[in-house]
A = this chain, B = another copy of it.
Amino acid sequence: MALTLDDVSRLSPAASRERFRAGLAVPTAGWSAGYAQANLLMIDREAAFDFLLFAQRNPKPLPILGVLEPGQVSSDLLADGDIRTDIPRYRVYRRGELVDEPTDVLETWNERMVSFLIGCSFTFEAPLLQAGIPIAHIEQGRNVPMYRTSIPTQRAGRFEGPVVVSMRPIPASRVADAVRITSRYPAVHGAPVHVGDPAAIGIADLASPDFGDPVDIPDGTIPVFWACGVTPQAAVMQVRPELAITHAPGHMLVTDLRDSEFQVP
């Protein structure tokens, strides 16, 4: 029996995760509306201090929502869940090369791995829409476009690499509102890192994103760039650890945290 977008938006996070655990492999945009979705990075405990320090030094691209310690497969972010099965699709990297995109990682995961759950800008798209600010990639039915930039992260141990940003074209008269609204969500990337000229942050062509889909830029809008949770995937490709597991782009962990918990005054 097919589920409509309206059906899945009303599922509890636990009910959404149950379907993904059973093998459903679809993007999570719109699932369990009102609940935060998270990026995943799993790496060996030996590299975990360097990565947590990398996140601490780069809180805009890498806001940590939770950490599962070695051997842990569940936490209060996914009550009764299993981080190895509850994401619709994973990516497995060996020495920085993508080698598999499975729907579970029961065989690949091991007791030494630490799972980092990282905030996602999906959380602040709902309040932008509620404020009447149009979001081009949603209107155009595409994934958000993401770009590597010339902005460096602050290095920690072996981890380094460029800040990856997501881009949303915002009507010029609403840029101030978009800044104000997203500033209130520091745990999901917060305020933009750049407004306007893509070339100023090393983006050659908006029509050719490094991740996600290109979007048409409506007249009267200006490109606005937010730090993006894909930044660790870029670092993993650069640092080439023996084994790393992430979610597949757009296929996030649906958590039990409400979006509203991330709003600050």
Interface residues of A in 111-150 (CB under 8 A from B): 114
* A53 on the B face (CB < 8 A): yes
| Chain A positions 43 through 76: 1 when the CB is less than 8 Å from some CB of chain B, otherwise 0 | 0010011001100110000001001010000000
Assembly CA distance A125 to B57 (angstroms) = 26
> Known: A69-B156, A69-B157, A157-B69. Contact between A56 and B52, CB under 8 A?
yes
Question: How many residues in A have their beta carbons less than 8 Å from beta carbons of B?
Answer: 13
Minimum CB–CB distance from A104 to chain B (whole Å) comes to 26
- A156 to B67 CA separation, bound complex (whole angstroms): 9
Contact of A48 among B49, B57, B67, B114 (CB under 8 A): B49
A45 to B69, CA, bound (A): 17
Residues on the B chain within 8 Å of A45, using CB: 49
Contacting residues, chain B, for A52 (C-beta < 8 A): 49, 52-53, 56
Taking the closest CB of chain B, its distance from the CB of A239, in whole angstroms, is: 15
State A124–B69 Cα separation when bound (angstroms).
34
Q: How many Å lie between the Cα of A45 and that of B49 in the bound state? A: 8
Expressed in whole angstroms, the Cα–Cα distance for A156 and B159 within the complex equals: 22
17 contacts between A and B (CB under 8 A): A45-B49, A48-B49, A49-B49, A49-B52, A49-B114, A52-B52, A52-B53, A52-B56, A53-B67, A53-B69, A56-B56, A56-B64, A56-B67, A57-B67, A67-B156, A69-B156, A69-B157
